[in-house]
Each structure stands twice: as C-alpha cells, then as structure tokens.
Amino acid sequence: MATGIDPASAGTGRREDSAQQAEVDIARLQRRLDRERKARRDAEEIAERGMRELWLTNQMLDARVSERTADLENTLDQLRVASSARERFLATLSHEMRTPLNGILGMLELLGPHLHEDRPLTYLDTARESAERLHQLLARLLDLVELETGKLEPVYRPVPGRQVGESIRERWARPLLKNGQLLTVDSSLGGHVLEIDQGRIGQIVDELLDNVLAHSSAGAVHVVLRLADDKLTIEVRDTGPGIDSDHIDSLFDDFSMLDDTTARAQQGLGLGLGLCRRIAAALGGNLRLESDGTSYTTATLTVTALSWPDE
C-alpha cells in the first residue's frame, strides 16, 4: 500500500534542516568568537592602560628618587664641609692655645724657685695645676678629632721591655707618694724588645694613674706588666675606695664622671677613660675596669705588642 510520501521531497527536507542547523551553529560560533575578540580587546586595553600607568608611576618614582638622592648628596656635602670646618677649628684652636699655655707653664716653673712664702707658693701650684689640666684637655681634643676622622695611626717602634716599667716608676712614684700612695711596679718584660706605640700606651697609663691620684685614698698602687701571645697587658690596681659596679660602664662615656653615690671625689674633665678605650682599640686591644665597690679598683689595658729577645 502506498504511503503518499515522496522520497525526493523527504531528502530535500532533511537537507534543509541540516543547512538551517549549520547556520544556527555558525551564528552561535560567530557570536562566541565576537565575544572572545571583544574580551581580548578589553584585556589588551586594560593591560595597555595598566602598563602606561605603571610606566608613569615608575617615571614619577625615578624623578622622586633622583630628587631625594640629590638632596641627600647635598646634605652629605654640607655635613662634610661642616665636619671638616669643625676639625680644622678644633685642631687650630688646640695648637694655637698650646703656645701661650706652654709659655704660662714655663714662666710658672721659672717663678717657683724665687718664691719663699707658703701662700704665694700655693697660688703658684694651683695656677700650674690648672694650666696643666687645660693642656691635657687640648691634647684630648686633638685625640678626639683624630679618632673621629680615622686619622689616629699608631706609631710602632722597638722599645726595651725594661724601659716600659721604668718610665712608669720614674714618672709616678713621687707624685703618688706625695699623695700618701706607695707605687710598686711588677714587670716581666725584661729580656724582651717590644714593638709598640709607647707614646700612646704611656698616655693611657698616665690617665689611669692620674685618676688614681685624683680619686683614690692613701694606700698602695700596684702596676703589673705582662707579655703573652703578642699582647702586652698592663694592670693598674689601687686599694680603694672602689667604684659601684653600676657606674663602671658609664665611666667610658665621653664627658662622664663619678656621681655622688661613690666615695671618690669628683674632678677632672670626664673625657679620659672613653678616649683611652678608643685609643686602646686603635692599638689592637682594650681597656676595662673592675671593682668590688668598696676596697679596690683594677684597670686592665691590653694592646698588640710584637716582641723578640733583647740580646
């Protein structure tokens, strides 16, 4: 029995449906492609805008860095000029003041033998002591300038070991004895030649013994000199009164002095120990203080010292 459907027309319908579906699929793909293209363009625009903003930001930062660098260099130049001017001023002041001070000290020494009354002699001694302390201050200022500018260079020379102890005894035995303090020097340096900066070492030892003279009571002062492992150690120990342990470290600060809680008298400039420790460091060593707070204080100086037998 016939169905009434033309095979040719059925095939044509299927082809038309397939074509329509293909057109729908193509349109859908085209829309997707258009969306992806638009998204890419948007992303590229955002990236380009971001890169442009980043470039502008970098330019601004570079300009600011250059400006700040120029300001910093200008400030550093001003500081260098100011520091150099300060150094020249201090050095010139110290040297210029030394000349009249030396004249004052010389005249006082010459005047001494011609005075026979107690009161004028007392005045003379006071004037001489004041002038000597001012002379010490100027020397310390010069040392401070050299330390801060890195110009303090040790001068090492061969020195007979026995001479180190003898120079301490000759310089300090009489002043300490006059103050009621007996000096003993125990040295194991005999038989050696030491390559040291004797001037700087003597400067530190003088400061330590000057402190003993100024601040310690009557008693004994022991100086011990030892040599080991290319290190020279000098101990200066007095028999009191001691220093409170809470104050020892602060004594190495510039312009620091003992306060009223200690039994030692306050006098001097407060520059010495801090400078001495820095000079000791420049000599390859250290300076430290120890005390029981009541009966003794020991200052220990160590410096680098090459040595060989004294033949």
Among 133, 141, 144, smallest CA distance to 96 is for 141
For domain 8-152, the CATH architecture is Orthogonal Bundle (1.10)
Six-digit token string for 192 = 């050696």
pLDDT for the residue numbered 256: 55
Per the CB < 8 A criterion, the answer to whether 157 and 137 are in contact is no
Question: Residue range 232-246: average pLDDT?
Answer: 86
Q: What is the predicted pLDDT for the residue at 19?
A: 78
90, pLDDT greater than 70: no
Give pTM, 2 decimals: 0.62
Residue type, 94: S
Query: Is beta strand 192-196 parallel, antiparallel or unpaired with respect to 181-187?
Result: unpaired
pLDDT, tens digit, for every residue of 129-177? 778 777 777 777 778 777 777 778 899 999 999 999 999 999 999 999 9
Q: Which of 222, 180, 203, 189 is nearest to 308 (CA)?
A: 189
Tokens for 88, please give them. 């020249």
Name which residue leads in pLDDT, 99 or 187.
Answer: 187
CATH homologous superfamily, domain 157-309: Histidine kinase-like ATPase, C-terminal domain (3.30.565.10)
Identify the residue with better confidence: 14 or 299.
299
Where do the domains of the chain lie?
8-152, 157-309
Q: Which of 261, 210, 266 is nearest to 238 (CA)?
A: 210
